[in-house]
Amino acid sequence: MSSTELPGVRSAAEPSSRAGAARVAEGEQLRTDRLPGLELAVRFRPATVGAGLPPALFVHGLGGSSTNWSALMARLEDRVDGEAVDLPGFGWSPPPADRNYSVTAMARAVIRHLDAAGRGPVHLVGNSLGGAVTTRVAAARPDLVRTLTLVSPALPELRVQRSAVPTGLLALPGTAALVDRLTRGLTAEQRTRGVTELCYGDPSLVPPEAFAQAVEEMERRMALPYFWDAMSRTARGIVDAYTLGGQHGLWRQAQRVLAPTLLVYGGRDQLVSYRMARKAAAAFRGARLLCLPAAGHVAMMECPDVVARAFRELLDDTGKHVRYTDDGRG
């Protein structure tokens, strides 16, 4: 149901347009794109700009940021001109002026970004919340999407996993403030360790340096005055999207997606059930399915080599329905 700011990328500090410094992986840069009423931080690899490669856009999950895609983007820099966006209120993007954190509003922000940049159609990639957002984009604006790749997409489940319930409870009015008070004594390291254990199939694989950097980012995020508001309103947006029926329902929109689709599910995912893979494969027409039994909620960070290989095959052969299996180690 969600992803969060997670370790897994070897980074180097680089000045940002905002106060403080944003961490960017080697070979990356961070810029700010401004539109009327919308300001988005965008992570990109300058080496791919102007290289004549097809464009790609990567969209993170709840509590995450564009850094969640650094490992995968580095492995695809010879195939796509990749950009990863910080959704409004997350990463280095400020909150939306209207405080609208619904899935529809997030999808609208992605569409506005693509329209303004003139980069479409793109290879669109989303994780968790980002999977719901990009599904809505692909259904509403097929002209903007060449292919769609979804990593543990947050699509409605009738039987939500018990470990995902606390995230859903953030949607209840007043819950975020209560959680803030109850957890105020936790250190950034304790919070980061909890997030890592929730989102990774095997948390022990996270390098110590990457974990330390994630702790530093957690401290920064927790100090933001809008942190809990963004988390709770976005969680509420996901829950609301789960309850929508008719043509606005996410499963109905999945059936309307025309772009060739790659679905990635982790067998140890504690937030999006592994059993949803079969339903998703049936909903997205002609979809190919990558099942990673050892992976958790963020397969693109846990086993980027495997995900990159499947993505390359999607680009090479989008007309073929293939089912992949792997041990998830990359």
DSSP string, 151-177: ES-----SS--GGGHHHHHTTSTTHHH
For the domain covering 11-325, report its CATH number. 3.40.50.1820
What pLDDT, on the 0 to 100 scale, is given for residue 325?
Answer: 43
What pLDDT, on the 0 to 100 scale, is given for residue 18?
Answer: 42
What pLDDT, on the 0 to 100 scale, is given for residue 51?
Answer: 80
- Token pair, residue 130, equals 């980002």
In 3D space, the residue among 12, 288, 252, 35 whose CA is nearest the CA of residue 156 turns out to be 252
The predicted model scores a pTM of: 0.87
The ranges of the chain with pLDDT < 70 are 1-21, 158-184, 319-330
Is the Cβ–Cβ distance between 286 and 260 less than 8 Å?
yes
- What is the tens place of the pLDDT at every residue in 136-190? 999 999 999 999 999 999 999 865 555 444 454 444 455 445 455 556 678 889 9
User: Alpha-carbon distance 32 to 113, whole Å?
Assistant: 11
Q: Which H or E run includes 288?
A: strand 288-292
State the virtual CA torsion across 137, 141, 144, 147 in degrees, nearest 10. Answer: 60
- Token pair, residue 277, equals 């893979």
Q: Looking up tokens 């102007």, which residue turns up?
A: 50
What pLDDT, on the 0 to 100 scale, is given for residue 247?
Answer: 81
- Token pair, residue 173, equals 């009015």
